[in-house]
Amino acid sequence: MTHVIITGGSSGIGLALASLYAVRGARLSLIARSRDPLELAARKLVAKYGARAEDIHIETADVAREEAIDSAIGRCVEALGPCDVLVTSAGVVEPAPFEDMSSAAFRRQMETNFSGTVHAVRAVYPDMARRRTGHIVMISSGSGLIGIYGYTSYCASKFALRGFAEALRSEARCHGVGVSVSFPPDTETPQFEREIAERPREASVVMGAVRPWSAEAVARKIVKGVEGKRFEIYFGLTLFLLGRFGPAVRPLVDWWFDRAIARSRGR
């Protein structure tokens, strides 16, 4: 039986992925910092998605702390067996113009979104490579494809994930291990609700009034991408084009964004 480990599995996209894998009969390990939402998520997977209680394991750990996440993943493996699929969904966003963002907030986003992913991958990769099987799915963002006003740290962390995933993909395939990186758009989750309240006006202007995706729809596309062994997982035509042709259209996008921001400031 497949063992799927999901960081950030107690909420949002991570929990939606857990629900899909539960329906497919997978064993599931969910990791996050707070215990109560993890317990709630585990109960929901049993009651609503038909998972067996003994096939679900929860661990509290901060992905930014390498030793903590390494030990937590070690306990997941002890409980439910070797990891077949790792999903790194744990992430935070704290939008603010760079000059207003504390260095602690900047670091928190880099250390959770980027380093936290690297730590989780490091905890499963050697065993996957030794067993010559397994798949790693990183959750980047549309903000990993284009720089957005007010998102200096978040964009940097999500762009970095793409570089990490690209390099790791080329190494991992020599060991029979798959790697995917996904770039979700705005998605209805607790994180999105918090973020939208803090989003700078300039960012709202350039992002436009696009309806957010549901976490379930994003999760379905990710699972389909993993099953199809796709490296990049895009959502919608705009993000696909940005992902594939971003550098070529960059000057045009910058021009359009700059004009929209200037207008929103009455210049």
Smallest separation (angstroms) from ligand NAP to the CB of 179:
16
Residue among 157, 158, 180, 234 flagged as catalytic: 158
**Which tokens belong to 129?**
């490579």
Dist. CA 202–CA 259, nearest whole Å:
11
Other C-beta atoms lying within 10 Å of the C-beta of residue 231: 14
Strand order in the sheet with 85-88: 56-60, 27-32, 3-7, 85-88, 135-139, 178-182, 232-233
Cα–Cα nearest to 72, from 15, 123, 109: 123
What backbone phi and psi angles, to 5 degrees, belong to 30?
Answer: -115, 135
Position among 4, 42, 63, 177 found at the interface with ligand NAP (CB under 6 A): 63
Contact letters for ligand NAP, residues 202-241 (x by CB under 6 A): ----------------------------------------
Cα–Cα nearest to 98, from 202, 184, 6: 202
Q: CA 157, CA 225: separation in Å to the nearest integer?
A: 22
Q: Residue 152, interface with ligand NAP (CB under 6 A)?
A: no
Residue 45, φ and ψ in degrees, nearest 5: -65, -35
The answer to whether 140 is a known catalytic residue is yes
Nearer to ligand NAP, 37 or 147 (CB): 37
Min dist CB 133 to ligand NAP, Å, is 25
Amino acid at 176: G
- Is residue 154 annotated as part of the catalytic site, yes or no? yes
Q: How far is the CB of 175 from ligand NAP (least distance, A)?
A: 25
Q: Return the structure tokens found at 35.
A: 């215990």
Task: For the segment 23-52, give every residue that binds ligand NAP (CB under 6 A).
Answer: 32-34, 37
**Distance between CA 179 and CA 165 in Å, rounded?**
7
Residue with tokens 């380093």: 115
DSSP letter for 52, please.
-
Length of the chain: 267
Choosing from 29, 140, 143, 157, the catalytic residue is 140
Instruction: Find the shortest distance in angstroms from Cβ 60 to ligand NAP.
Output: 8
- Least CB distance from residue 110 to ligand NAP, whole Å? 11
Binding mask 85-114 for ligand NAP (x = CB under 6 A): ----xxxxx------------------xx-
Residues from 161 through 190 that contact ligand NAP (CB under 6 A)? 184, 186-187, 189-190
Instruction: Compare residues 139 and 242 and give the one whose CB is closer to ligand NAP.
Output: 139
Catalytic site includes residue 234: no
Using CB under 6 A, pick the residue from 18, 56, 64, 137 that binds ligand NAP.
Answer: 64
Grouping H, G, I as helix, E, B as strand and the rest as coil, residue 136 is strand
Interface residue list for ligand NAP (CB under 6 A)? 7-8, 10-14, 32-34, 37, 62-64, 89-93, 112-113, 116, 139, 141, 184, 186-187, 189-192
Which residue numbers are catalytic?
A: 140, 154, 158
